[in-house]
Amino acid sequence: MYKTLTLLLFTILFWVPVQPVSAQDLFRVLFYNVENLFDPQNNPDTADDEFTPDGVRRWTKTRYRHKLQQIAKVILAAGEWQQPALVGLCEVENDSVLHKLTHNTSLYKSDYRYIISDGDDTRGINCGLLYARDRFNYLGHAEYPVLLSRHPKKKTRRILHVWGELQN
């Protein structure tokens, strides 16, 4: 009786319909501090003079284009065989640099879309997000100010909160 019961339990435990197993798609997320991604144009509303052709850093169109190309290379290399679905970016001046990054570099093939915050930082730097539309369905975003307890009047970039749905 003991042997029959053991055999019966063994059979019941392993007699389960087999569910097909499918591999999950890769979903890579990258965060990248691009360290002062400024265009060389002077914006009179921000303190970006340092990143102009006449500024301390002698920021020219050639140096700007080179930096865009290097950032694109890093993003594509981080994705290995498939570019990251989401790329969080920190220290981005404005949406024009994200437009140039996604359209005038090797990233144009990836068909990224972007979102950027519009913070109060005196230098005009913000946070942004690149997303691959074929893997992330953007639904909305919000921005939240950062309040510094020791410097309550200091203006800084905002937190960018993005939500959406995975395509798979």
Is the predicted pLDDT of residue 11 greater than 70, yes or no?
Answer: no
Task: Report how far residue 60's alpha carbon sits from residue 8's, in angstroms, rounded to the nearest whole number.
Answer: 78
> Tokens in use for 57?
């850093």
Task: Report how far residue 72's alpha carbon sits from residue 78's, in angstroms, rounded to the nearest whole number.
Answer: 10
Q: 52: Cβ–Cβ under 8 A, 6 or more apart, which residues?
A: 40, 41, 42, 59
Per residue in 116-161, pLDDT (tens digit) is: 998 888 888 999 999 999 999 999 999 998 888 888 778 888 889 9
Residue 24: which pLDDT band, with cuts at 50, 70 and 90? Answer: low
Task: Report how far residue 85's alpha carbon sits from residue 112's, in angstroms, rounded to the nearest whole number.
Answer: 9
First to last CA, the chain: 50
Number of Cβ atoms within 10 Å of the Cβ of 79: 17
CA angle centred on 124, ends 123 and 130, rounded to 5°: 135
Query: In terms of pTM, does the model score above 0.85?
Result: no
> Tokens in use for 163?
């939500």
Contact 58, 3 (CB under 8 A): no
- Beta-strand relationship, 159-166 and 136-144: antiparallel
